[in-house]
């Protein structure tokens, strides 16, 4: 059901003086929408976020190290569940996570080497 619209539309960036539309949520709560269209409100929020927050640079070495640690933890968990004999099989999930760990650590070392002058 479309919301009931009352009053005049406002411009982006201005605080409206009256409620522009109302609707009920699935839980039955009354909701009031103020201001411009939802797209304009999102644009305003994104602009404010860009100016307020500076995103830190992505740390590839840290990300790869965390992935390697996750793979190692998954390998240990599955090995504890399936047992050593099944984990030693060449087609086991444990072997797959061990490969992931080695690949991620190699990428992390490579990224760290690139960082150093």
Query: Distances from the Cα of 36 to the Cαs of 3, 23, 45, 102, in angstroms?
Result: 14, 15, 12, 52
The reported pLDDT for the residue numbered 103 is: 92
Between 42 and 59, name the one with better pLDDT: 59
pLDDT at 12: 57
Give SS3 for 24. Answer: strand
**Average pLDDT over the chain, rounded to whole?**
75
Q: Given this model, what pLDDT does residue 117 score?
A: 61
């Amino acid at each position: 059901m479309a919301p009931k619209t009352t009053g005049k539309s406002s411009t982006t960036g201005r605080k409206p003086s009256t409620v522009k539309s109302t609707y009920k949520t699935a839980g039955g709560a009354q909701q009031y929408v103020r201001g411009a269209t939802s797209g304009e409100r999102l644009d305003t929020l994104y602009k404010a976020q860009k100016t307020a927050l500076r995103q830190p640079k992505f740390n590839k070495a840290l990300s790869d190290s965390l992935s390697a640690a996750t793979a190692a933890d998954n390998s240990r968990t599955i090995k504890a569940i399936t047992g050593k004999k099944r984990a030693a099989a060449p087609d086991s999930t444990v072997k797959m996570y061990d490969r992931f760990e080695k690949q991620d650590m190699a990428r992390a070392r490579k990224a760290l080497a690139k960082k150093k002058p």
